[in-house]
Amino acid sequence: MLAAAATPWAALGLIAALGPALWMWGFTVDDALIPVRYAHHLALGLGWRFNAHGPSTDGVTPLAWPLVLAPMARGDPMAILLRAKVLGLVAWAVTATVLGKEVGRVPNSPWWGRAAMLVTMGLSVPIAAHAVSGMETAFATALATSAVLIARRPRLAALAAGLAASLRPEMAPWACVLAAGVAIVDRAAVGHVILCVGLALAPFACCALVRDIAWGRPAPLAVLAKPSDLEHGFQYAGAAVVVTLTPLLALAPVALTRSPLALVIVLAGVAHAMAMAVVGGDWMPYARLMVPVAPTLAYAGALVSQQAPRVATAMRSVAAVTLGLVLVAHGGTAGRAVGHDRAALIAEALPLLAAAHHVAALDVGWVGAATDAEIVDLAGVTDPTVAALPGGHTSKRVDGMFLLSREADALLLYAAAPPPDGDLDRWTDAVYTRVLEARLARDATVERHFGPAAWLPLGRGGKGYVVLKARAAVEP
């Protein structure tokens, strides 16, 4: 009887996941292709390296992700990315199905309130987008959601939370708070609470140990390449809490005090929001760092609706659903065209970079998919030497002499608009919005040693890349 009653809720959870994720299928991010390149080299037996013949570097924050991709990482990079997207879709579909089933089982909660929780989750474009981005986010989401759903088994819940934090290191505070909280709710002894926190930290600590042994630092290279900025971090965290929608469902301070597990989930969510602020947020669209914990907050909303007045539950549900509809109506799903634009960019770049040996660029993900040449990573995401330079990942102190020292024979500069009148000879006058590229465009050494070869458009908005190649004869 219970299984039959839960079936429609499982189906609703699946629909809430599959429909939006398939609609956002075309979404991806440039960084998704970085672990693809690492995994490809692993599959070829070349080791853990971004450049096939370069040094081993720690260019992937979710340390285990290239290992997950490696068994299917032979062939074209875009084909590998497609497989990663399918994996993410399956992981999220299964997770949402189980979550829907559990939401349906929450007693003493209005059915319409629980349905609104799943509808809100479906309207959360960030969840849908990052389920199919080709990155590790869908798996971190699956692990985080599993940790909450098996809270009655604190040690397993702590381990699942810790595994989520091994994929997303900024989730370590979330994992610790959740592990301690579920153990306390289970009325465990102090020693057992400490054990659960230890289990939550163990996968994170293992990753840090591997990094320290392999590359001489326990923190991911991204921490060095992208220094944190508290102002941006707090802005990011605040916006992420709103656009993911589900936190609004658990915004019930009084009712939370009467729902211990919901309170634990929300406190863990608060810890995660603070961690996002401390690490400086993220540059990727659709609040990527908030997504792994967003479904858990939908579940907290269902739990809290047991204790909250029906009117309050209705108000929160209407607010979350309305906000979701407004965000979608105002272009919230525009990112679904990113994948098509990126694939077209890569296809057009392939012949241009075919003869290159050392390609310098700031956005190394798509460039690594367009050429097997050595990539000079101007952001430092995969290059510890550049990562250690002053500046953020789009403003590193790189100049023309550095490019010559790395023997760069091709340089790609992102611009918000092409050179004036489409005249490539006026490439220095293109609209460079990022500090690093604007600086290189004014660098006399760059102008002397490189000449314009092509303009690569990115989508239909006028943005694109100026392709510069080493001059056949260097002017004195």
**Cα dihedral 333, 334, 340, 341 in deg (nearest 10):** -150
Phi-psi sector, 146: left (phi>0), alpha (psi -120 to 50), beta: alpha
Rounded to whole angstroms, what are the CA distances from 217 to 164, 212, 427?
21, 4, 40
Helices 172-185, 260-278: inter-axial angle, 10-degree rounding: 160
Q: What would the two tokens of residue 35 be?
A: 């672990």
Long-range contacts of the stretch 341-347 (C-beta < 8 A, 24+): 341/458, 341/459, 342/28, 342/30, 342/366, 342/458, 343/78, 345/370, 345/456, 345/457, 345/458, 345/464, 345/465, 346/78, 346/370
Q: Within 13 Å and on the Cβ side, how many CA atoms surround 358?
A: 14
**Is 434:316 a contact under the CB 8 Å cutoff?**
no
Cα separation, 87 vs 30, whole angstroms? 18
Output the tens digit of pLDDT for each of the chain's 476 residues. Answer: 444 556 899 999 999 999 999 999 999 999 999 999 999 999 999 999 999 999 999 999 999 999 999 999 999 999 999 999 999 999 999 999 999 999 999 999 999 999 999 999 999 999 999 999 999 999 999 999 999 999 999 999 999 999 999 999 999 999 999 999 999 999 989 999 999 999 999 999 999 999 999 999 999 999 999 888 888 999 999 999 999 999 999 999 999 999 999 999 999 999 999 999 999 988 889 999 999 999 999 999 999 999 999 999 999 999 999 999 999 999 999 999 999 999 999 999 999 999 999 999 999 999 999 999 999 999 999 999 999 999 988 999 999 999 999 999 999 999 999 999 989 999 999 999 999 999 999 999 999 999 999 999 999 889 999 999 998 633 44
- Measured at the alpha carbon of residue 441, what is the angle toward residues 366 and 376, in degrees to the nearest 5? 40
Helix (H, G, I), strand (E, B) or coil at 469: strand
Q: What would the two tokens of residue 162 be?
A: 């810790």
Task: For residue range 441-456, list pLDDT tens digits in order.
Answer: 999 999 999 999 999 9
DSSP string, 445-460: HHHHHEEEEEEEE-TT
342 bridge partner residues: none
Helix (H, G, I), strand (E, B) or coil at 431: strand
**Is 456:465 a contact under the CB 8 Å cutoff?**
yes
Task: For residue range 187-230, list pLDDT tens digits in order.
Answer: 989 999 999 999 999 999 999 999 999 999 999 999 999 888 88
Pairing of β 374-377 and β 358-361: parallel
Q: What would the two tokens of residue 174 be?
A: 């979330």
Cα separation, 339 vs 335, whole angstroms? 8
Phi then psi dihedrals of residue 169, to 5 deg: -55, -30
Rounded to whole angstroms, what are the CA distances from 298 to 8, 102, 114, 243, 251?
18, 11, 9, 13, 11
Per-residue b/e over 446-465, b at no fewer than 16 CB within 10 Å?
Answer: bbebbebbebbebeeeebbb
> In terms of Cα–Cα distance, which of 180, 67, 88, 102 is closest to 134?
88
Return all residues near 284 (Cβ < 8 A) that are at least 6 apart: 29, 31
358 bridge partner residues: 374
- Structural domain spans, the chain: 2-335, 354-470
Residue type, 270: V
Task: Name the DSSP letter for residue 391.
Answer: S
Q: How many helices (H) and strands (E) does the chain have?
A: 22, 5
Helix (H, G, I), strand (E, B) or coil at 316: helix
Tally Cβ neighbours within 10 Å of residue 216.
9
Residue type, 429: D
Q: What would the two tokens of residue 227 be?
A: 């220094």
